[in-house]
Structure 1
């Protein structure tokens, strides 16, 4: 009987509707989430491509030093360093060799010092991502990309980052998500470029008016509720949705026509 690899799981992929639902949950453009995905994974997904069922990871030696109190800086200089050093990364499955070596020294510190999954969230951020412990977080990261996405939503909410995604303030998002050295990595400019590509590839957003129905109407109703309306989010564009939309347009000094075109929807994203 084959022994399962450490940190391997079901490795289920995202379902087609998951990102759209996440965008509704955070109140942002779907392309904004796709931009973070593109930058964090390079389009390779949240799991290794070798069929092992293990999440994509990066072991962060500077975080391991911090989490372990610097005890291994002298004895294991490729695993534990005080400052970030890009040259220590091996990439892909080789990162698991680094992780396993660190686990042998201090398992708790090693799990907390590793970035996991689609959104490369550090194990030390497990609580913000919605998990009681790093062990529980890592187990979820091995389960599915849907759990990766849920952790990202929780992390954004806990750290006040959703509003930056809504208004596409990439510098503020990068600072909160990637740390103060984000400029060194050009993280904000890479996000902006990835967002532009995602928007260019997206189908045109439909103009929504009374009688429309579906996911786009649900997103509209949820956005109107965030702006102060009290609609039932049922995906049916009826008179109540039209009245709420007209009220929003009046407040924002838009053309009051009860139709959700590009200008109105952009204003809703910024509200």
Structure 2
């Protein structure tokens, strides 16, 4: 089975979700404009160090997360910092973090075409975090499915049907979406694809 998604698969997902194909293409363009996989076959991820700090707290690794912050200041810290993102590739960060705590590390990444955070696995109906991660490794179609599950669970279909890009962006991408002009990028991407049936 190919890992690469087809337009027909995107169309089917859009119909099931109740939105235009162009809407899903727009989110894909903005979140992960190329493939959902790297050249080596690994899923595209973004490791979030401030989320890792929080996830370690959730498993009571308070001392360990302070040690991790001191040893690897680009992998674990309490508040979001733009400057640490380009220190090393996300998969390297994930590997180091996983040595300390596999679940916390994998929960702290956004995955694939929709860049869905691993810590959403239970809300999205996966049997386990590992089942979610396995799906993210399987195909772009499974990555799209995770994105659609997130949209449904968070009641964002209406925003997409109305083309309320800022309303969608606020809840999908976080309160800082305006800094990255996420809503504007979505609107532009939708305009590019709006004639796609």
| TM-score, length of structure 2 as denominator length | 0.89
2:29 aligned with 1:28: no
Specify the alignment match of 1:244 in structure 2: none
- Bigger radius of gyration, 1 or 2? 1
Please give the residue correspondences for 1:1-271 in structure 2 after superposition, counting only pairs within 5 Å.
12-42=3-33, 44-48=34-38, 50=39, 52-69=40-57, 71=65, 72-90=68-86, 94-199=89-194, 202=195
Q: Distance in 2 between matches of 1:153 and 1:33?
A: 9
Instruction: Tell whether the 8 Å contact from 2:74 to 2:85 is kept in structure 1 after alignment.
Output: no
| Structure 1: gaps spanning 5 or more residues | 1-9, 206-271
Q: Distance in 2 between matches of 1:67 and 1:17?
A: 37
Q: State the shift of 1:87 in Å.
A: 2.4
- Greater helix content: 2
| TM-score, length of structure 1 as denominator length | 0.66
SS at match of 1:23: helix
| Structure 2: gaps spanning 5 or more residues | none
Aligned residues: 189
Q: Distance in 2 between matches of 1:11 and 1:103?
A: 28
Q: Deviations over 1:8-52 (max 9, x none)?
A: xx761113311111111111111111110000112x11000x2x2
Instruction: Tell whether the 8 Å contact from 1:11 to 1:54 is kept in structure 2 after alignment.
Output: no
Q: Distance in 2 between matches of 1:63 and 1:55?
A: 19
Q: Distance in 2 between matches of 1:107 and 1:11?
A: 28
Q: Distance in 1 between matches of 2:71 and 2:56?
A: 13
Distance verdict in 2 for CA 1:55–1:33, change over 3 Å:
same
Following superposition, which runs of at least 4 residues in structure 1 exceed 6 angstroms of deviation? none
CA RMSD of aligned residues (A): 1.9
Q: Distance in 2 between matches of 1:154 and 1:167?
A: 19
SS at match of 1:68: helix
